[in-house]
Amino acid sequence: MELLKERILKDGIVKEGNVLKVDSFLNHRMDINLFQEIGKEFKKRFEGEEINKILTVEASGIGIACVVAQYFNVPVVFAKKNSTKNIAGDVYRAKVESFTHGRVYDVIVAKEYLKPEDKVLVIDDFLANGCALLGLAEIIENSGATLVGAGIVIEKGFQSGGKLIRDKGIRLESLAIVDDMSDGNIKFR
């Protein structure tokens, strides 16, 4: 997606430790007009697929997922990172290791919001080691629902997540794949 790549080149900042800082438009300050263009692009890429639900994970996936969902006219379910008073009872659970936060946590989805008849599109802002996406795929599988595919805004092509996911036969659409930024310059696939 050219508009996105241009934006990453313009406003993305490469930080130590292979961190790509895009929080001026993607995951702290959020450019809603860009999210709308992202929504149109995912709609185009998954055209013809039967999708009745979008699944994402808190926190930074939620905004993108909600704007994208409008183009599919479906509800969004977001996996929660912590059990709260409001989620008691039956949940699907998976372990996820966060690249950004450097820790392992559980993500949970209430069973009532994922059913065997659901055709699910996963939306997230980043794909790095693939753990978040694999966790969501595991939850979808446990629910009996169908994982139609995953729409990722930025894939770090130099980390293992993309290959892992594609090797499992999951359809993965990444709008920008960064293959290298080791010298501080961003190179797309």
Measure the CA–CA gap between 125 and 162, rounded to whole angstroms.
Answer: 13
**What is the token pair recorded at 142?**
């446990």
Nearest to 121, CA basis, from 187, 172, 58:
172
Nearest to 107, CA basis, from 67, 176, 29, 122:
122
Measure the CA–CA gap between 154 and 126, rounded to whole angstroms.
Answer: 5
**14 interacts with a copy of itself by CB under 8 A:** no
Name the residue nearer to a copy of itself (CB basis): 110 or 167.
110
The binder of a copy of itself chosen from 63, 106, 146, 164 (CB under 8 A): 63
Least distance (Å) between residue 166 CB and a copy of itself: 26
Q: Mind giving me the DSSP string for 109-134? A: EEGGG--TT-EEEEEEEEESSSHHHH
Segment 34 to 53, residues that bind a copy of itself, using CB under 8 A: 35-36
Least distance (Å) between residue 113 CB and a copy of itself: 4
The binder of a copy of itself chosen from 2, 85, 90, 185 (CB under 8 A): 85
Name the site residues for a copy of itself (rule: CB under 8 A): 15, 17, 19, 21, 23-25, 27-33, 35-36, 58-59, 62-67, 69-70, 73-78, 80-82, 84-87, 100-102, 109-110, 112-113
